[in-house]
Chain A
Amino acid sequence: MPVIKDVVCTFCGCLCDDLEVTVEDNKITKVGKACKLGRAKTMGMFLHERIEKPMIRKNGKDSELEECSYDEAITKAAEILVAAKRPISYGWCSTSCEAIEKAVVLAEETGSLFDSTANVCHGPSALATQEKGAPSCSLGTAKNYADLIIFWGCNPVHAHPRHQTRYSTMAKGAFTPNGKKDKKMVVVDPRNTDTAKKADLLLQLKPGTDYVLIEALRAIVNGHEDVLPDEIAGLPKAKVLELAEMCKASKFGIIYFGMGITQTRGRYKSGDNVSSLLSDLNQTNKFVMIGMRGHYNVTGFGQVAAWEAGFPMAIDFSRGSAYYNPGETGTNDVLMRREVDAFITGAADPGAHFPQESIKHLYKIPAIQVDGYANPTTEFSDVVIPAAIAGVECDGTAYRMDGQPIRMKKLIETTFKTDEEILTEIIAKVRELKGKGGA
């Protein structure tokens, strides 16, 4: 039986590159070494339904989606984007960098806003990095050197299941040959999560007090613990002192942070303050930070958008050049201001992951979806274009959460068009409609 080795998993930002996939008669029958998430993703097309044909709603949102040809769907998508005064393109994070590059071109060609799933994920981390920087390293360096691992506002047992065995607490590194025995693990979270079960220290802070706790740690590290009250962020001062002592005692510390930093009170200012804490700690120790990225190639979106347009997300091409001001040009802001009049999304599901107020506007404007599977976004989409699954049905490049590019493999043949092909055809149609000729 043909087994493809060293397959890259295309679920989360860990991009584990050691999967063993068995393919029989162009069908994936077994996925070895993957976690529950990776197995569901890699075998998905054989486990449950997918969007089989392109579809269009011919009479508004209340009419049913009707099957059509790829050509019809792509033409309709191009017509919507060309007719719009203020279109927005969102998502493109569970796909290849090659497809993202085409999405940039389409956004530029149509004068669109252009944003990634970081808008509801690590967008504030990008802002924090721009404010203060983000001392970082590769996951390989972290695996080999780190002896203090802090999971702050993230829950890898659920969201990045192999992170601990491949890169962090359980991994045996060059300077931590005994794995977990050579490392200390801390969890900072208002919930006593499954990740926290194996932690040496759990700081179960009050929801939304992350900034306060970071600030208190900075005060201690800088020798001002005397100014702190007995209770900090809902925690006894002694617990906070314990974490500060663990930080000071470590040879190489790393803070892996998640939505507990980016989505809570303070937003990017909390990430900004993590960076400041690291700056303080790096006066005497070695400390780095890495965001736990969700969509497997949301990091790649940031890379491609930055090298193509100068900014990692929330870009506005309507002025003819790239303009960037998240909070003004972020997807949820423009949807809640009822500012945009057409929407295209791919390799993401805003219908499931946006707040109610944003979705209300998406029901009012023409929407185009490029995806392999039906989901809440399909419910308000007027044009639905089925796509091949990148990393399974086509190859391409993706960036791991630590910014390392990894080449994804094609495992099986497909008749579905890839995201890159679909976007290329929409671009050609848009140029044709605008009288510029084809690609």
Chain B
Amino acid sequence: MIGTILISARTIDQGATLEEKTSQAYFDAAAYCELSESNLKALGVSIDQNVKVATAHGTVVVPAKIDARLPDDIVFIPMGPWANAIVDPDTCGCGMPGFKGVPATVEPTTDPVLNMKELMATYKE
């Protein structure tokens, strides 16, 4: 397990599939976690192997990808349902939740990645 900081943001593929969020293309564009090369090695996972990313606000399982230019203290998940399963909902009294800079841990897992409909269904209480 590694301790890190989660950042979520746009990517061009996530943007290009915004209007087809029920599609495989959107799933491929938004459901993954980018890690640095050394973090991938430290976790002993290869690209496309699933990792569990956990914060104080939830956990999500996504496949791992590599961003060779990413610092070791940051992991990145594209903005969307998978990132938002674990971002910080606190608005600090100004309306805006914490979509970036959320302390997180990452570990290898054999759990499956939920698709969009399965993930949304977890919010029924």
Alpha-carbon distance between A12 and B15 when the two chains are bound, in angstroms = 10
B-side contacts of A119, CB under 8 Å: 95-96
Is there an interface contact between A123 and B124, defined as CB atoms closer than 8 Å?
no
Interface bracket on B = 35 or more
Task: Report Cα–Cα, A120/B91, bound state, in Å.
Answer: 10
Question: Interface SS of chain B: helix, strand, loop or mixed?
Answer: loop
* Given known A352-B80, A357-B57, A357-B89, contact A332–B95 (CB-CB < 8 A): yes
| CB closest residue in chain B, given A314 | B95
B-chain residues with CB within 8 Å of residue A120 when the two chains form the complex: 96-97, 99
A48 in contact with B97 (CB, 8 Å):
no
CA distance in complex: A36, B14 (Å): 11
Contact of A356 among B10, B19, B22, B57 (CB under 8 A): B57
CB-CB under 8 A from B92, the residues of chain A are: 267, 327
Is A391 on the interface with B (CB-CB < 8 A)? no
Number of A-B residue pairs with CB-CB distance less than 8 Å in the complex they form = 179
A207 within 8 A of B: yes
> What 0/1 readout, one digit per residue, does chain B (68-84) give for beta carbons within 8 Å of chain A?
01110110100111001
Chain B contacts of A356 at CB under 8 A? 57-58, 84-87, 89, 123
**A71 interfacial contact with B, CB 8 Å:** no
Query: Is A333 interfacial (CB-CB < 8 Å)?
Result: yes
Residue contact A259 to B15, C-beta cutoff 8 Å: no
Instruction: Report the bound CA distance from A267 to B88 in whole Å.
Output: 13
Interface residue count on the A side (C-beta < 8 Å): 68
Which chain B residues border A352 with CB–CB below 8 Å? 21, 80-81, 84
- Measured in the bound complex, the distance between the Cα atoms of B23 and A40 in whole Å is 14
Least CB separation from B11: chain A residue: A158
The chain A residue sitting closest to B124, CB to CB, is A363
Q: Is A326 an interface residue (CB 8 A)?
A: yes
Separation of A36 and B17 alpha carbons in the complex (Å)? 10
A interface with B by C-beta (< 8 Å): 11-12, 36-37, 39-41, 44, 47-49, 61-62, 119-120, 123-124, 127, 155, 157-159, 161, 190-192, 204, 206-208, 259-260, 262-265, 267-268, 294, 314, 326-327, 330-333, 336, 349, 351-360, 362-364, 372-376, 379-380
Known: A48-B19, A380-B123. 19 other contacts (CB 8 A): A36-B12, A119-B96, A158-B11, A161-B12, A192-B71, A207-B73, A207-B100, A208-B101, A259-B9, A263-B97, A263-B101, A264-B101, A332-B89, A354-B84, A355-B88, A360-B125, A363-B123, A376-B81, A379-B121
List 12 A-B residue pairs with CB atoms under 8 Å apart, sorted by A's residue number. Answer: A44-B19, A48-B19, A120-B97, A127-B95, A155-B10, A191-B71, A259-B9, A326-B94, A330-B95, A353-B79, A356-B123, A376-B21
